[in-house]
């Protein structure tokens, strides 16, 4: 299967909330995955502003699966073994970028069961990441909150590509 960000939907939200000149959000995915391999989302948020500071509220952000069931998003830290009760917000200073690896509360397992994601890939179903942001500008005295929905589309590969991947030994 493949996973991709629905960039059009995200860009529309950025325009509607007048954030396109303030931040840029991107995700990095492998070219393809086995159904049980998608364990994290690799995200980069760039603060394009030279005056605004962006805060990401991880405790209020969440993942929604293909059946519209929501669950907490966890920012995966190096060496993490326990799930924190609360998570500290990330701060992105003017002109800086933040790279994070995100998972669900079961940080060592795939984001979704192989059966659920296989079914979703057949119909090109979506799952999403809901980000809760606060943007402050001390010079202008502004403090605004935003919600952005990052939708992802899951698709099956052509059978020839899928067969090639299936025959490769699993990485350990």
Domain extent listing, the chain:
2-167
**Per-residue pLDDT tens over the stretch 116-138:** 998 888 888 899 999 999 999 98
User: Which tokens is 57 given?
Assistant: 């509220």
User: To the nearest whole number, what is the mean pLDDT of the chain?
Assistant: 89
> Please, are residues 154 and 113 in contact by the beta-carbon 8 Å criterion?
no
Where is pLDDT greater, at 52 or 157? 52
Question: How confident is the model over 23-46, as a mean pLDDT?
Answer: 93
For residues 87 and 75, what is the distance between their CA atoms, to the nearest angstrom? 8
Q: Which residue has the tokens 């917000």?
A: 89
Residue-level pLDDT at 106: 84
Distances from the Cα of 15 to the Cα of 34, 49, 94, angstroms: 34, 15, 20
Return phi, psi of residue 159, to 5°. -60, -30
Q: Over the stretch 35-81, which tens digit does the pLDDT of each residue have?
A: 889 999 999 999 999 999 999 999 999 999 998 999 999 998 877 66
Torsion over CA of 96, 40, 25 and 141, rounded to 10 degrees? -60
- 156 vs 165: CA distance, rounded Å: 12
Asked if the 2-167 domain carries CATH number 2.60.40, the reply is yes
Q: What angle do CA 61, 140, 23 make, to 5 degrees?
A: 40
């Amino acid at each position: 299967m493949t996973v991709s960000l629905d960039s059009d939907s995200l860009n529309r939200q950025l325009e509607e909330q007048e954030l396109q000149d303030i931040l840029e959000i991107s995700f990095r995915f492998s070219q393809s995955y086995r159904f049980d391999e998608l364990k994290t989302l690799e995200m980069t948020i760039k603060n394009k502003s030279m005056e605004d500071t962006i805060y990401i509220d991880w405790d209020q952000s969440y993942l929604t699966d293909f059946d519209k069931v929501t669950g907490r998003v966890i920012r995966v830290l190096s060496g993490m073994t326990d799930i924190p009760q609360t998570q500290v917000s990330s701060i992105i200073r003017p002109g800086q970028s933040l790279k994070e690896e995100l998972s669900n509360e079961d940080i060592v397992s795939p984001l979704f069961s192989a059966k659920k994601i296989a079914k979703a890939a057949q119909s090109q179903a979506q799952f999403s990441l809901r980000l809760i942001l606060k943007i402050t500008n001390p010079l202008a005295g502004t403090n605004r909150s935003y919600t952005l929905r990052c939708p992802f589309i899951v698709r099956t590969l052509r059978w020839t590509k899928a067969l090639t991947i299936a025959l490769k030994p699993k990485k350990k």
